[in-house]
Structure 1
Amino acid sequence: MDGFEKRRNDKKAVIIQTALELFGKYGFEKVTVTEIAEKARVSKVSIYNFFESKDNLRRIIVKNILDESLCETKELVEKDCNFIDKMREYLENRIIYGSRYNMDFFFDAVESDPVLRQYLDDFNTENKGLISSIIKEGKKIGYFSTDISDTAIEIYIDIFYNYFLHNRKIRPTLEHSPKLAEEINLLFLDGLIRHSEQ
């Protein structure tokens, strides 16, 4: 990567980070491109050149969040380590995401943009497959019950995700309480853990 390309990428990253902070703090509708440009110390023209519109900037931010999450989960699935450590890291990653990003911003974006809704649906399908891989690994070593069918596990995961997708009231609580998020994730896993030998 040459110097020009690096400066260009750095500028885009600053705009994305600045917009994410402002959207999270004040809401998407209240933030203007002018405010993003001023805080990021770039011109409005740069924002339009890179992202075309404020809507598209938000779209790219949400896609980046989902892509980053999926990438981390893929790396974890492929990681050669103790299964208990893998599950601990999986839970830590979920908690970090819940506190790193403003959940209202994220879900408002998804709910108001059909392109993002489809992107989230595709993400959930792929992510569910990755989680199923982790669960299958857990079944193989006796950590998760082999009595539970893969179909039942998929429905269980869907119930879990759909609750958070559609329950707006719980989002701020989880966002500001990593401990509660951890407890919920542990309860989620507890439904799959093999009890007969513990």
Structure 2
Amino acid sequence: MDGFQRRREKKKEDILEAATNLFMADGIQNVSISEIAKEANVSQVTIYNYFESKQNLILEVFNYYIDKSVRDFEEIIHDTIPFPDKIKQIIFRKKETAQQINEEFYEYIMQDFSAAGNYMENKYLEKALPHFTDFFQQGKEQGYINPNLSMEAILFYIQMISHYFQKKDFHADVLPLTDELTNIFFYGIVGKRDE
């Protein structure tokens, strides 16, 4: 990639990062192209040159957010920290995201998630699912996950939750429960007991 292309990609990423942060904080409808331009330190014309419309930008932001979430998950899975610390990091990031994300932005994500053949589901099948398999295998090998649980049962459980998330209007109830659902999911498998 030459210098011009690198600068172009960097500018596009700056716009996507600025838009993601603003959408997460204030929602989609409350954020203008001019605010995104100011945050990204570019002109409004530049944003339209890259994305053509706010709707296209929203779609690109959504994909950018999903890709970034998958990269963050991969980073935790492949870290050398102990398995329980990986679970804590996953829960902490979910909790942090749940506290920061604007409800309108979250609803947009979940509406896309409920559509057949959506980007999130494709990314899950392509990237996250193999990492989940590795992750749970690590947990079994280190004695944190019941070795009698088959990988098929664990993955079926994940799929079951995933399909439930796709129900119409379910997303409105999920956001306040993200931390608890994540805890139930992981510590239900690990068998953590409160002292």
**TM-score bracket for the superposition, by shorter chain length:** 0.7 to 0.9
Which of 132-141 and 181-190 deviates more?
181-190
Q: Quick check: 1:133 aligned with 2:134?
A: yes
Contact in 2 for aligned 1:12/1:50 (Cα 8 Å): yes
Contact in 1 for aligned 2:95/2:179 (Cα 8 Å): yes
The runs of 5 or more residues in structure 2 that have no matched partner are none
Which of 113-122 and 141-150 deviates more?
113-122
- Number of matched residues? 188
Contact in 1 for aligned 2:145/2:190 (Cα 8 Å): yes
1:187 alignment partner in structure 2:
184
1:160 alignment partner in structure 2:
161
Which of 131-140 and 111-120 deviates more?
111-120
How far apart, in 2, do the equivalents of 1:51 and 1:116 lie? 24
2:81 is paired with a residue whose SS is coil
1:45 alignment partner in structure 2:
45
2:61 alignment partner in structure 1:
61
Which of 143-152 and 30-39 deviates more?
30-39
Give how far 1:48 is off. Answer: 0.8
RMSD between aligned alpha carbons? 3.4
How far apart, in 2, do the equivalents of 1:155 and 1:133 lie? 15
Q: Deviations over 1:6-65 (max 9, x none)?
A: 5x6665455435534554566545655456446766433211112122122111211111
Name the % identity.
Answer: 26
Contact in 2 for aligned 1:138/1:144 (Cα 8 Å): yes
Give how far 1:5 is off. Answer: 5.8
2:143 alignment partner in structure 1:
142
2:189 is paired with a residue whose SS is coil
How far apart, in 2, do the equivalents of 1:29 and 1:76 lie? 33
Counterpart code for 1:88: K
1:123 alignment partner in structure 2:
123
Give how far 1:111 is off. Answer: 2.9
1:73 is paired with a residue whose SS is helix
Judged with a 3 Å threshold, the aligned counterparts in structure 2 of structure 1 residues 158 and 17 are, in CA distance, closer, same or farther, namely same
The runs of 5 or more residues in structure 1 that have no matched partner are 175-180
1:192 is paired with a residue whose SS is helix
Give how far 1:68 is off. Answer: 1.1
1:178 alignment partner in structure 2:
none
1:172-183 → structure 2 map (5 Å cutoff): 172-174=175-177, 181-183=178-180
